[in-house]
Amino acid sequence: MQGTVSSFDHDSTSGTVLLDDGLEVPFDADALTGTGLRFLRPGQRVRLSVTGDDSALRIEKLQILTLS
């Protein structure tokens, strides 16, 4: 799944991603654990792994699209 970073808080390393279907999904610091990412910027395209359904999506991992 892919989306665009909508917001990012550098202090808490949490934020939101706007999915391509228009749904905004929050993420917390755990989504960056083990990825090597320390910050994101609004407008950045990301690939994400999620659990749950549309009413309770949870982002488990974020990855910048240009990184493998």
- Output the domain CATH number for residue 30: 2.40.50.140
Tokens of 1: 């799944």
| CA–CA distances in Å: residue 56 to residues 9, 19, 20, 53, 62 | 21, 14, 17, 5, 17
Asked if the model's pLDDT at residue 67 lies above 70, the reply is no
Residue 18, burial from CB neighbour count under 10 angstroms (0-12, 13-18, 19+): middle
- Residue 37 structural domain: 2-64
Q: What's the pLDDT tens digit per position in 4-43?
A: 999 999 999 999 999 999 999 999 999 998 888 888 999 9
Q: Which residues contact 4 (CB under 8 A, 6 or more apart)?
A: 17, 18, 43, 44, 45, 46
Q: Which residue has the higher pLDDT, 48 or 36?
A: 48
Total domains present in the chain: 1
